[in-house]
Structure 1
Amino acid sequence: MPFVKPSQSTTAASTPAEMYRDLPPRPDAVPGLWAHQSEMLSAFAELTNKPDVALELPTGTGKTLTGVVIAEWTRLSRRARVVYACPTQQLAMQVVGAANRESIRTSLLIGPHAKWPAAAETAYDSAAQIAVTTYSTIFNSNPHLADPDMILFDDAHAGEQYVGEAYGVMLKRRESPAEYAAVLKAVAPALDGVFLERLRQGAPDPSIGNDTRLVVPLRQPGMVAALDSALGALDAPLKYRYSMIRAGLAPCLVYVSYSGILVRPYIPPTHQNRLFTDARQRVYLSATLGEGGELERAFGRLSIDRLPAPATAPRYGRRFFVFPEFVEGVDATEFAQDVVKAAGKALVLAPRTDVAEQDARDLAQPSWPVFDINDVADGMAPFADLEHGVCGLAARYDGLDLPGEACRVVAMDGVPNQDNLQERFLQTRARAGAAIAARVRTRVIQGAGRCTRGPHDTAIVLVLGKELSRYLTRPEVTDALDPELQAEVAFGRENSQAFNATDVMTNVAAFLNQATDSTWIDGAEPHLKSMRKDAVKVDPPGTAALASAVSEEVRAWASASAGAWSDAATHAHEVARLVGAGGRDAAGYRAFWMYLEAAWSDHAASEAGDAAGRAAAAQLVRQAERVQSLGSWVREMAPFPSMERSPLGAADMVAVTQVAAQLVGGVNQGKLRSRLGEIHVGLSKRSPSVYEPALTELGKLVGADAFKPKGKGRCDSVWLWDNELWLALEAKSDHEPSGVVPHKEVRQANDQLRLLASDRGLPQAPVGSATVIISPKPGIDDDGAKGAEAHVHMVAPPLIAEIAYDVQNAWEDMLTKAPGRTPDAVRDLVADVLQGRGLLPTLLRERLTQDPVNPSARDDLAE
């Protein structure tokens, strides 16, 4: 018989939590809201009049349920359209499933608009159901959704990847060689000749792959039009991407590398998207609130109100971090394979596809299936159902759920700090890593939590490779983690480097078998509890300064997008001023914005015929170069019209003069090539008696006074460019490629510049001088890192070998082009070649000082 249907109440629930209690119960629904979810929903109800609100909901704290409840409450209480946006279609389908379990009906609107189900679109249009879609449905040149009252963005911490990249064109050399060549031709006038020659080679040389240059087309005559012509000829789907920025091409930046070219604005001009900006409210569900303004930059918003995670949020499960690279005397890959064998399965995450898939093959047993993205395109269920197997995925740090026994190991390889060319430039050239530090840290945190989705899940986190192992030992990284995660990382690091392979594997077994073995509970958990209580979360230096400037950054780019160059420059000036409060930690980012101010000021002055304004812009470029300090990318930038390139600094002139003198005086090419061959051989050996002399000979070929200082405990080679810049090199070529650099060797490195200054009768080393430890080890002893002085850095031997190849190519180039030139012309040639190959002293310093041993140390040699 039919059910009796009493009249329904038209009174809307006053809070999202109240509405949740009224939802029809389903057998597969969650039992109820957690305390922290109720707190978050109540707090949100107080902010319904705020245009932008971010909710901090870390991994495993019920973010999706919180989001769909907010969406449904808003739809019902306001009788309005609501959109729930996800980064990917797979995540959108997961949200629909979660909503259905709670009796919340949704309209799944993904893929091409023409294929949307008519009934689902109508249900959204009439505000009868929430629309669940993807970021790309919103951020495209012609959104087809009816205007919403509210848009919720799930996984908003990944906004840069899905919003910023929507407003850009990435031309990958392998996939679009003709288009790459056309755009390269358009921006070629802004690139130095040697670098351009290297880009045009059919195969990359050893170091070109890591080099990224910035071009500002606005200040190069005719370049915006040439770039528009090249990009305007693109075919689908690239032409759709270009349509997003074509109207605002003039302020766009171009990042040029051998592998690809990226054209995009720094801040996405989302203010031009009516669907996005006209929504009454935008809600960002994020694993982190982005203390330095990351959410505002990613979404192009002036300010976002924040609701931090309640203190009642549950623990996200237990992770045991294992660092194979730190276990002394083992092959790290074989050891990691043993860990995966003991657990039965593993998910592998890496920034690049080739790395993820190779790691997956390396970690799998011979009979195990190895999955890639094609096997899990529609969800992780096929992998979760396997008894044994390994799945390798690239850049999928979010949206993968493998709870319980679905998978007990997540292996991570590589630091995801160069997700695109803009990030690579900021990280490696502009020394502005502070601006993306929280973004990178969040990717690592999210990746580590893929197999611990609930408070009772347990999983091993295998930290693969030297790069990520070193990253997770840096105090500025670990101190910014929440106390629980700080404790897990520190505990894992200590228990990897303190024991041999057998002991570490015994601990792995204890962790995996907690249901039947109390060893972990009794032996590890008390230590983790103590470490968690002692840990204090500390934002990295410069965070507050970055946060204070973000609204001015958004205003600056909005003005530039509108062609209001003078206003854009004014806002950029304010950004640089505010960021300057962050001191040396934000100096690279400050220089970046000072250069933008200079470019926009120069353009405005040019349009107004203001000669004084153009002179002031040129002075701003000089100031940006000084703020960036030695090895500045600013000096590589093509000068503005009527502006001359700044002269070489003193150290660089020393090197150019020395090398030019050798060329003018005559070089025995046979002997030189033999010498270069001996250097390559020496640098390929582990024996110090062979490696160290090769290091010194290499220094001589870049115009340095290079030698091994006499005396006990002195460094293995020094490269001196008069008293302008010194590099003291501590070669540890005989180190085993596992474990950590001992404390005593860091203490020894601390003294080298002082000893050298004493030798030369000087009170201290020249400004910017550095000591570089060359070691294959993946990390530094904790006490050694804490006690390291600011001038001490660490590199791996392959970087030195890479520099040696650059030196060989530079000399071959100079020997070919020098004959018949005047001495002055030879000096110009040497300057161009050394700069184009990254071999000027200041550029060598930049290459060798990317990894300070103790980033928080005070730098007595800074400018």
Structure 2
Amino acid sequence: MLDDSDEEVIHPREVFFTLDREPRFSFPRDIQTEVMNRWFDNRDQPDNIIKLNVGSGKTLVGLLLLQSSINEGKGPALYVAPDKQLSQQIINEAKALRIEVTDDPRDADYAAGEKICVVNVYKLFNGKSVFGVGASKINIGTVVIDDAHACVSTITDQFRIILGNTKEAYKKIFQTLSEDLISYNRATFLDLQAGDPRAYLEVPFWSWDAHQNDILKALHESRLDDELQFTYPLLKDILPQCRCMIGGQYLEIEPYFPATDLIQSFRRAKRRIYMTATLADDSVITTHFGANPKKIENPIVPTSSQSMGERMILMPQELNSDLTVADVRALLVELAEKVNVVVIVPSEPAAEGWKNDADQILMGEDVVDGIETLRNGHVGLTVLINRYDGIDLPADACRVLVVSDLPEVSSYADLIDSEVLSGTAVNLQRQVERIEQGMGRGVRSNDDYCVVLLLGAKLIGRLRSREGQEMLTPATKAQLDLSRKIAKQLSTPSIDEIRNVIQQCLDRDTNWIRVSKKVLVGIKADEELRLDSGKIALRAAFDQARSNQHKEALSILDKAIDETEDVQVKALLLARKAAFQHAIDADGAQQTLIAAHKMEPRVTKPLHGLAYKKLAPATGQQAASLIANHNDRFLDPTDMKLFADSLCSDLRFTPETSEKFEAAVNDLAWFLGISGQRPEKLYRDGPDNLWALPNGTFLVIECKNGVTAGDGIAKKDAGQLGQSMAWFAERYPASTAVPVMIHPERKLGQAASSVNGMRVIDCKELKKLCKNLKAFAQQLTDPDIAGIPSKVAQRLAQFELNADAFVNAFSGATKP
């Protein structure tokens, strides 16, 4: 008989050599060995972070660490993947290694430590989790969270209640909160009541707190509904620490952070191993998984250079600002005849422009089957809607990857927070990380290659900024710099010349291969975690509030507020402090909120003490103000022209885009050297937009870009503009204003009356405005014009963008 020693092999590298694996697994790579050695030395630490780029063999490492833990008696061992597709890939690799696996947590061999269980993140984190909510069920000894950043969005969704406005619970909650919502923002309440899909607001924390019993009862009565059975059990005991956002079509309830510790087996696991890519923000390991930030300060990052695939990263509109998305789309359609082209867009409306050329458009449950089709052969052009992570597109599955437009937020809470943090490093970091996640979908091993195209003026502007460049990972920055260097050898390249550059990668040009590999030599990941101290403090305060330790929560936030320099971030922290403070000092909470609002008017508005700050025209001439604004913001003429293009991309008559549109109207004023304000957004009263022209006249602007043309200007909308003019007269009694409505048509609808002096910017006029704006921006790319006030003033007049000409040039009177 063979003598099999009782002593188990526990070092993961040695475990590898005991496996009857397939021949392709000859030796662990140096980078894998280094990671396994370092983990083995720190394996008894409850939380370990391993940072490995795509193509470094994370799956093999994760499986070996779990098998090592089983051999050491630290099972059961659980491997968690972002989705079903990746779960199956892990199972396939385990079988090739001859490691015993199962996908059933109830498998007796899993409990006995005979098999590793592989599940997707949904299975672990949900209100009916077999791993226990409130009480421990199936045990976990060691758990690997693979691609932890990709798991975050799923976990957040699992801790979010979404109720459509036809659901009984929605109706009861809306009715319960109605009186407070009327008091807080009457105009938005009426839009919510009418089911307007553009309307939303966050329920003030004092109202949410006052109605906890009724809200809990409404949710409890509907707890067996499909919308609640997997989410309600996770939120029912932490509702006081939740936020509620109500929209015209649905409402959302979610905690400030996912309370993943409610899954008892996960919280009690002896070892938790987080495998991540080298992305910009590692705070999620604490904020979403609950790891102690002081215990994860030394992540396992290979000291040797990490191998990754080859990417040619191009921004066509940076290389030639005259190129349009249509130009690039035509090129992609041509390329898709021979290779698989995948385009990632942020939303369904963004996918509309691609539908006539796409061979498949994938979102939601369709993604898995669609990706499998790509992996099995040539498809052509595929559009993915809002999928920046959690998918693999190796080798011929994707040879050209396009990230089109800025990623959009996926919830009301994220939308509200992003508005408050607009322009901050925190917001930019979120966007850059999401973009970089998307860029990584097409290269999944160190011998893979892919062309990555980045489209959209806003997206390019973010990545071209100094701050955006600093937030890119070293490998991505090196690849982007190389690609730009090669492409810029051509002066203002045409679309055909850009195609020729792309073909260098696709045709495997030997010079391109050599320099693309050379640029990655010696690039190493940052060995320190990137933790956002504000987010870490908020999570700690959230945990204290859950335990009714509100004074401790406030103390944590006070320290974070004192240490924060960014005014907008400080305002958000103060607003969060006010929400926690309300439980023990309601009056003090309102004072804290007033302080927050003085710093950033887009935070929750306090009950009282909110004074309107009047808008004053910019001092000096319009051209001089414009030059000063541009000098403060833009890196170069290309940056300025891309900004103008991004304004025009947002100034469109499209449903459910009111926030983007109104923000663009405000930014347009700034771009032209005019003072602008959004009173309704900032103060819950007044018009959507207010412009103070240098000639002393004001424009009171109501934006109706989401309405459908055909029925004319509705009586309600005309009445709203009249109310805004009354608001203006009360606050600016000595000034004159022109009432302006941005609406698809100038015709008055049934029973609607025109406001005295009313002007309308309709579809035709808005197109003319954007055409003139782009032409004006093109003129400003000439250095002999851009910095000279007299010449800028001439161009403003030429394109009718000066204060004296603007209204008559781009609007008309109403029609009966």
TM score, norm. by length of structure 1: 0.68
Q: Which amino acid aligns with 1:382?
A: T
Cα pair distance change 1:622/1:432, threshold 3 Å: farther
1:44 to partner: Cα distance:
0.4
- Secondary structure, aligned partner of 1:312: coil
User: Which 10-residue stretch deviates more, 63-72 or 551-560?
Assistant: 551-560
Cα distance in 1 for partners of 2:345, 2:644 equals 32
Structure-2 change in CA distance of 1:825 and 1:413 (3 Å): closer
The answer on 1:812 being equivalent to 2:802 is no
Compute the displacement of 1:818 (Å). Answer: 8.8
**Which of 400, 403, 418 is equivalent to 2:409?**
418
Q: Secondary structure at the match of 1:41?
A: helix
1:89 counterpart residue number: 84
Counterpart contact for 2:51–2:299, Cα < 8 Å:
yes
Q: What is the match of residue 129 of structure 2?
A: 143
Q: In the aligned structure 2, how far is the partner of 1:72 from the partner of 1:372?
A: 35
Say if 2:238 and 2:546, in contact at 8 Å, map to a contact too: yes
Distance 2:728 2:103 in 1: 71
SS at match of 2:597: helix
Deviation sequence 1:416-452 (CA, Å, 0-9, x none): 3513222222211244854465554333222212221
Q: Report what 2:459 is aligned to.
A: 468
Structure 2 counterpart SS, 1:472: helix
Alignment of 1:38-57 (within 5 A): 38-57=33-52
Instruction: Give the aligned partner of residue 493 of structure 2.
Output: 499
CA distance in 1, matches of 2:15, 2:701: 62
Counterpart Cα distance in 2 of 1:525 and 1:558: 47
1:24 maps to 20
Taking a change above 3 Å as real, the CA distance of residues 706 and 285 of structure 1, as seen in their structure-2 partners, is closer
Deviation of residue 348 (structure 1)? 2.1
Give the percent of matched residue pairs that are identical in Structure 1 and Structure 2. 19
Partner of 1:620: 592
The alignment partner of 1:599 has SS state of helix
Task: Say if 2:366 is the partner of 1:459.
Answer: no
CA contact (8 A) 2:361 2:384 kept: no
After TM superposition, give the deviation of residue 245 of structure 1 in Å: 0.6
User: Is the alpha carbon distance of 1:339 and 1:241 closer, same or farther for their aligned partners in structure 2, counting shifts above 3 Å?
Assistant: same
By how many angstroms is 1:42 displaced? 0.5
Corresponding residue of 2:569: 589
- For residues 48-127 of structure 1, the aligned pairs below 5 Å read 48-78=43-73, 80-109=75-104, 121-127=107-113
2:610 is aligned, of 643, 647, 652, to 647
How many aligned positions are there? Answer: 660
| Contact 2:327-2:495 within 8 A present in 1 as well | no
Structure-to-structure mapping, 1:180-579, within 5 angstroms = 180-188=170-178, 189-190=180-181, 191-204=184-197, 208=198, 213-218=201-206, 222-234=210-222, 235-258=225-248, 260-288=250-278, 291=281, 293-303=283-293, 304-305=295-296, 306-326=298-318, 327-342=320-335, 344-356=339-351, 358=352, 360-364=354-358, 368=359, 376-378=367-369, 380-431=371-422, 434-435=425-426, 437-493=428-484, 495=487, 498-514=492-508, 517-518=509-510, 520-521=512-513, 525=516, 529=519, 547-578=532-563
Task: For 1:803 and 1:617, locate their aligned partners in 2 and report how far apart those are by CA, in whole Å.
Answer: 33
Secondary structure class of the residue paired with 1:158: helix
CA contact (8 A) 1:372 1:391 kept: no
Structure 1, unpaired ranges of 5+ = 110-115, 607-613, 640-644, 656-703, 718-726, 731-737, 747-767, 776-799, 835-863
Contact 1:151 1:281 in 2 (8 A): yes
Describe the shift of the 1:10–1:396 C-alpha distance in structure 2 as closer, same or farther (beyond 3 A): farther
Q: Which amino acid aligns with 2:610?
A: P
SS state at 2:670 partner: strand
For 1:817 and 1:396, the matched residues in 2 are separated by 41
Shift of 1:267: 1.8
- Partner Cα separation in structure 1 for residue 402 and residue 571 of structure 2: 37
CA contact (8 A) 1:480 1:537 kept: no
Which letter maps to 1:772?
W
Q: Is the 8 A contact 2:12 2:65 kept in 1?
A: yes
Query: SS in structure 2 opposite 1:6?
Result: coil
Contact 1:218 1:251 in 2 (8 A): no
Q: CA deviation at 1:150?
A: 1.2
Shift of 1:12: 2.1
Greater Cα offset, 474-483 or 224-233? 224-233
1:830-845 correspondence to structure 2 within 5 Å = none
More moved, 186-195 vs 128-137: 186-195
Aligned to 2:4: 8
Query: Kindly tell me: are residues 294 and 73 of structure 1, through their superposed partners in 2, closer, same or farther at Cα, counting changes over 3 Å?
Result: same
Report the counterpart of residue 633 of structure 1 in structure 2.
603
* Deviations 1:837-857 (CA, angstroms, capped at 9, x unpaired): xxxxxxxxxxxxxxxxxxxxx
Ranges in structure 2 where 5+ consecutive residues have no aligned partner = 132-137, 632-636, 646-665, 674-698, 707-712, 741-816
Question: AA paired with 2:343?
Answer: V
SS at 2:584's partner residue? helix
Q: Are the equivalent residues in 2 in contact too, given 1:291–1:547 (CA < 8 A)?
A: yes
How much has 1:467 moved relative to structure 2? Answer: 2.9
Question: What is the match of residue 758 of structure 1?
Answer: none
Task: Measure the CA separation in 2 of the matches of 1:18 and 1:95.
Answer: 20
- Cα 1:92–1:743 shift into 2, 3 Å: closer
TM-score using structure 2 length: 0.72
**Which residue identity is paired with 1:547?**
D
The match for 2:117 is: 131
C-alpha distance in 2 between matches for 1:23 and 1:471: 48
Kindly provide the CA deviation profile for residues 549-576 of structure 1, in whole angstroms up to 9, marking residues without a partner as x. 5554333112222333333323332332
User: How far does the alpha carbon of each residue in 1:795-821 deviate from its partner, in whole angstroms, 9 at most, with x for none?
Assistant: xxxxx99965489987732636999x9
Q: Secondary structure at the residue paired with 1:416?
A: coil
Q: Report Cα offsets for 1:75-128 as digits up to 9, x if no partner.
A: 11125211111222222111111111111111112xxxxxx7x6xx11111111
1:333 and 1:67 map into 2 onto residues whose CA distance is 44
Contact preservation (8 Å) 1:85, 1:152: yes
Matches of 1:549 and 1:395, distance apart in 2:
27
Partner of 2:763: none
* C-alpha distance 536-344 of structure 1, shift in aligned 2 (>3 A): closer
Contact 1:328-1:500 within 8 A present in 2 as well: no
The 3 A distance-change label for structure 1 pair 23 and 310 is: same
Please give the secondary structure, in 2, of the residue aligned with 1:566.
helix
1:664-683 correspondence runs (5 A)? none
Contact 2:575 2:603 in 1 (8 A): no
TM superposition shift of 1:130: 0.9
Residue deviations 1:354-397, cap 9 Å, x none? 534x4653544xxx566666555357332222324222223332
Which residue does the alignment assign to 1:709? 621
Aligned pairs for 1:142-161 within 5 A: 142-145=128-131, 146-161=138-153
